[in-house]
Homo-oligomer: A and B are copies of this chain.
Amino acid sequence: MSDQWLSTLITATPQEGFELAITLSRRGVKYTQPDPDTLKKLRPEYANNVEDLIASSQVIAINFQTVAAANNYWRK
């Protein structure tokens, strides 16, 4: 994976920060399983499984902690 996909943790709004957290979470998966076809095949499985959805939300929450801290919580 030689493409550049993460040049900053700074975002304009908390929502963009949350979406960056989602990107980080997906990248974490993609570094372990880089094949897009396999990932596509797995998608319907976890998108319909409660445990997987909660676990995904947890990874996003952990990454959002990082992004939010980086942005000083978007305090004005």
Which A residues form the contact surface with B (CB < 8 A)? 4-10, 13-15, 18-19, 22, 24-29, 31-33, 38, 42, 45-66, 68-70, 73-75
Contacts and interface: CB of A to CB of B under 8 A. Distances in A.
Contacts of A38: 47-48
Nearest to A49: B50
Contact of A15 (B4, B29, B58, B69): B4
Q: Which of A7, A22, A53, A69 has the most CB of B within 10 A?
A: A53
Given A15-B5, A64-B24, A69 B73 contact: yes
Contacts of A28: 22, 56-58, 60-61
A55 B52 CA distance: 10
B7 A18 contact: no
